[in-house]
């Protein structure tokens, strides 16, 4: 295999494998792109030659291991981000192994690299008072405030992902009898989520100003679709405002995904079955929804209240052996 094969393989991996064969989403392509941009820059510095001159042999398992350590130490990536980057690299080297079996052993060493274990922390979510404070934060006398209020209300009621929220068009909303919203979720799964009456009323007023069904439901000031960064900034801004009325929200790191967690916890507190919550959120596997049961302290407290404490005497232990009694008395 020639030295020029690596750049060609990388290009074919993105254009042919990801975009044509797998039809990967733009978010997946962007994540893989960022990983390989960092990896090629790192390998270029290590070998002292430009990325276009790198060969498949230059990027081996040892270099990738060092690169993953670099992402955690120098760039501050978490273990989960490190594992995500490794998944992108593994996908590429599976493609390399299929494209040229002469590199099979080289690829197998990389594919055998394990994920890093990490602490699975309980999810952060907002309670009813915190959600009410957040929804009251936008200034609804302005156009941006009405947009933000409608967006936040829809987010906490439906639990849509950030990518699903910013990708909505006006035509995705169905009002009237059986009001609901349709979206294309993760894995290209289409799902419909019903809307509460108050949410439907707010959206009806909001949509009345923009009759075009193909326009973004929540546009930027320029009329374009909001970016994910803009959505995160929007949520942070209104959390700061909400923190004045509800100080507890200021102690939490609130992101658009926190609103999704809050929806799931609200449904769980109202007795909705976890299988239904999984359908509501668009989870591929109902086991994903178990994280909310682990985080729900109310369910644990109810379970504890049903269990009686064992009837055991609380007297002090008295050793009956002379040697033990001697040691106890020291």
User: What are the residue numbers of the active site?
Assistant: 161, 186, 257, 260, 283, 292
Cβ–Cβ < 8 Å for 43, 53: no
Rg (CA), the chain: 27
Cβ–Cβ < 8 Å for 246, 131: no
Neighbour tally for 259: CB within 10 Å: 26
Neighbour tally for 181: CB within 10 Å: 23
| CA atoms of 260 and 155, how far apart (whole Å) | 7
| CA atoms of 86 and 326, how far apart (whole Å) | 60
| CA atoms of 127 and 21, how far apart (whole Å) | 43
| CA atoms of 259 and 249, how far apart (whole Å) | 12
Tell me, what DSSP letter sits at residue 176? S
**Where on the phi/psi map is residue 210: left (φ > 0), alpha (ψ -120 to 50), or beta?**
beta
Cβ–Cβ < 8 Å for 268, 293: yes
């Amino acid at each position: 295999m020639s030295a020029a094969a690596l750049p060609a393989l990388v290009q074919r991996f993105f254009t042919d494998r990801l975009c044509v064969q797998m039809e990967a989403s733009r978010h997946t392509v962007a994540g893989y792109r960022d990983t390989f941009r960092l990896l090629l820059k790192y390998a270029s510095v290590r070998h002292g030659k430009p990325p276009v001159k790198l060969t498949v042999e230059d990027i081996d398992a040892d270099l990738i291991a060092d690169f993953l350590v670099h992402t955690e130490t120098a760039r501050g990536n978490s273990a989960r981000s490190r594992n995500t980057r490794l998944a992108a690299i593994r996908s590429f080297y599976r493609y390399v192994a299929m494209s040229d079996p002469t590199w099979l052993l080289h690829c197998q060493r990389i594919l055998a690299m394990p994920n890093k274990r990490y602490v699975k922390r309980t999810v952060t979510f907002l309670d009813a008072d915190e959600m009410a404070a957040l929804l009251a934060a936008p200034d609804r006398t302005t156009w941006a405030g009405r947009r933000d209020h409608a967006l936040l209300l829809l987010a906490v009621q439906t639990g849509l992902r950030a990518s699903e929220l910013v990708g909505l068009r006006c035509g995705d909303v169905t009002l009237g009898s059986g009001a609901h919203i349709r979206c294309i979720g993760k894995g290209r799964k289409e799902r419909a989520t019903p809307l509460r009456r108050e949410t439907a009323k707010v959206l009806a007023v909001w949509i009345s100003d923009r009759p075009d069904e193909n326009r973004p439901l929540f546009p930027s000031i320029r009329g374009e679709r909001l970016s994910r960064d803009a959505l995160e900034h929007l949520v942070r801004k209104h959390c700061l405002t909400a923190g004045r009325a509800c100080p507890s929200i200021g102690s939490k790191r609130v992101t658009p995904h926190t609103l999704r967690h809050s929806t799931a916890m609200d449904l769980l507190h109202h007795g909705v079955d976890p299988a239904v919550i999984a359908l509501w959120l668009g989870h591929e596997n109902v086991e994903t929804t178990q994280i909310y049961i682990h985080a729900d302290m109310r369910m644990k407290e109810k379970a504890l209240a049903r269990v009686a404490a064992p009837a055991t005497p609380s007297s002090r232990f008295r050793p009956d052996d002379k040697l033990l009694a001697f040691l106890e008395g020291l």
